[in-house]
Amino acid sequence: MAIASFSDLKAAMAHASRLMIEPNWTANSGNGSNVKFGVPTANPYGVPAGAGQTYSKASSGAWPFNDPPSGGSSWMLANLHQLISRNSIIQDGFWMLTDRLWACGGFSAISTSLNTITPQTFLPRGTGEGVICCAEVTTTIGATPQNVTVSYTNQAGTSGRTGTIAFDASAGASTWAPMQFQAGDYGVNSIESFQLGGSTGTAGAYGLVLARPLFHFPGTSSNRDRVFEALQTCLVKIDKNAALTWVNQINGNSSAPHGYGMLVE
Amino acid sequence: MAITTSDGLVAAMAASTRKGITFYRLTQTSKGAGLVHSLFLASGFPGPGATPSTGAGDNPLRTTAGSLVITNPSGGNKLYLASFSAQASTVGGLRLYDRLWQNSGLSGTTLTSQTINSTAWTRGDLTGDGVELWGEVYSAFGSTAQTLTVTYTNQAGTGSRSATYASPSAPVAGQMFPLTLQSGDTGVRSVQSAIWGASTGTAGNFGLVLLRPIAEISMGITSVGNLKDVFQVGMQEISADACLALQVFCSTTSTGFISGMVHTIEG
């Protein structure tokens, strides 16, 4: 039944499905810059295949949640509860719930070779509008800051667009360094190639990730919780096949959040 | 269906027309605490905007580079702001606005009247009431403090009104500055010309912007930010074709890395 009133919402919440939010994450030291995103602890999805792979709820590491019983294609997020349980360090930051769509990985941060994505992989869910691109570090890279130049196809299907990603010195595992888009673009359909401008000094390992941000919200501090109700989540839609990922705008160290979401349809 | 009840609000959020618009902007070098910096030309997501046309300027729309791209409402529906969240790696405040008109190419050393005669903008039934007049620096003009006087037509259509701005020393590129309207005026329809009282010492390149404020949010704790729901943002209407842009109320000489999200609903 479509949700068209508070009564409908209340009825749907009575039959909500629980979205459990990773209770076992441990602290991440953050990337130290305060200007990048980061995924708490090691990326639960592991190192992506070199030439790239798409992700879904069936992917290893994805958060489990039920399919909508109606057979529908998506849920709505009616409530989000976040609890930070780590002691002694003030852990806050700004959080982003995303759907991980595609990623490639395992590339050396001392190589300046052009990395071409073949075959070109298209998004598994939705259009490219609103999809962001980040460099994802899976093993700490070197201390020399470098840029990655990315060639991509934008939300309108125009290929050969150019984006730039700035790596901080010694960006650590789990860092997501966001791509600066070419003027006029507001999404990505696919990645064509990417190239590091120079060696960072240490090979490490990195790749690119395409993700759809779903909900941005402020965090809280140690041993405190925060709840976002339906009018705050705006009943954002979550595809039934979404590969959900937390992303944190890190304030100092990251933390071990856990909690739950309430999915309604 | 028009949103006239709380139930209608829930239905609009649950509808497929609800849209989330993500943004992030790299840190900018700003003038300092208490001053305002534009994010329209800043790199990030969506891609950056471009320096506006000179003279009469141009009218940015929803898909103009630099805009947070909305989807226009369908049929006779209206578009509303349903939530606004943002954080910054530097403490500050963030304002979401509709950029109606803009120009560039004004000089900080020209002492004669600089003709503008702004191109006409269109946003539904908005006629100028509540429209603010700002300056935006694209290349720093001089460090000698002077007064800029802008001749404009007010919200009622009365021409030859005067707005002023007393420039501080050494502005920086990206800085925005509000002009004080003539007594009794509550908005601006168009801009005719600008003139300095004396030279600032360096020509630079600056322009004027007509904008309609939509929402503001504080980012009072580093990298934590804030979220305002539909009632806290006043369910502000967003005009069809609106060019949504951001400006920062700075606490220091950098804006910090800023990210966040805007949700829109229609009905």
Q: Is A10 on the interface with B (CB under 8 A)?
A: no
If pLDDT is split at 50, 70 and 90, which confidence band does A90 have?
A: very low
C-alpha distances (whole Å) from B46 to each of A13, A100, B66, B256 are 35, 19, 6, 17
Tell whether the model's pLDDT for residue A3 goes beyond 90: yes
Crossing angle of helices A6-13 and B6-14, rounded to 10°:
60
What separation in angstroms does the CA of A196 have from each of A52, A104, B106?
A: 17, 15, 39
> How many other CB atoms are found less than 10 A from the CB of residue A229?
12
pLDDT confidence of residue B163: 98
Peptide bond into B60 cis (omega under 30): no
Question: Is there a contact between A206 and A137 (Cβ–Cβ < 8 Å)?
Answer: yes
As a whole number, mean pLDDT of residues A13-19 equals: 90
Query: Which pLDDT score, from 0 to 100, does residue B34 have?
Result: 94
Query: How many CA atoms lie less than 13 Å away from A125 in the CB half-sphere?
Result: 24
Q: Which pair of tokens denotes residue A56?
A: 């879904």
User: Once rounded to an integer, what is the mean pLDDT over residues A236-246?
Assistant: 92
* pLDDT the model gives residue A24: 42
Residue ranges of chain B with per-residue pLDDT less than 70: none
Cβ contact B66:B174 at 8 Å: no
Distance CA B263, CA A233 (A): 9
CA A4 – CA A16 distance, rounded (Å): 16
DSSP A142: -
Q: Among A88-97, A115-124, B5-14, B16-25, where is mean pLDDT lowest?
A: A88-97
Residue A197 clears pLDDT 80, i.e. is over it: yes
* CA B132, chain centre distance (Å): 9
Complex confidence, ipTM: 0.91
Q: CA A83, A87, A92, A98: dihedral to nearest 10 degrees?
A: -50
| Residue A130 to residue B256, Cβ atoms within 8 A | no
Are the C-beta atoms of residues A226 and A82 closer than 8 Å to each other? Answer: yes
Q: Which residues of B128-140 are buried (b: 16+ CB within 10 A; e: fewer)?
A: beebbbbbbbbeb
CB of A182 within 8 Å of a chain B CB? The answer is yes
Say what the pLDDT of residue A37 is.
Answer: 56
For residue B47, give the nearest of A3, A9, A181 by CB distance. Answer: A181
pLDDT of residue A119: 77
List the structure tokens of A84. 């930070």
pLDDT band at A108 (very low <50, low <70, confident <90, very high): very high
| pLDDT above 50: residue A35 | no
Cβ–Cβ contact B236 with A under 8 A: no
**Contact at CB, A183 and B50, closer than 8 angstroms:** yes
- Where does the pLDDT of residue A97 fall: very low under 50, low under 70, confident under 90, or very high at 90 and above? confident
Report pLDDT for A82: 74
**What span, in angstroms and rounded, lies between the C-alpha atoms of A44 and A256?**
13
pLDDT of residue A36: 47
A39: pLDDT confidence band, cut at 50, 70 and 90? Answer: low
* B56 CB within 8 Å of a chain A CB: no
Instruction: Report pLDDT for A247.
Output: 79
Residue A41 has pLDDT above 60, yes or no: no
Token duo for residue A234: 């705006």
Given this model, what pLDDT does residue B124 score? Answer: 85
Please give the angle made by the CA atoms of B20, B21 and B26, to the nearest 5 degrees: 145
| Residue B247 near residue B131, CB atoms below 8 Å | no
Helix (H, G, I), strand (E, B) or coil at B12: helix
pLDDT value at position A87?
45
Q: Which residues of A are less than 8 Å from B220 in CB distance? A: none
* Partner B contacted by A235 (CB < 8 A): yes
Q: What are phi and psi of A75, to 5 degrees?
A: -105, 170
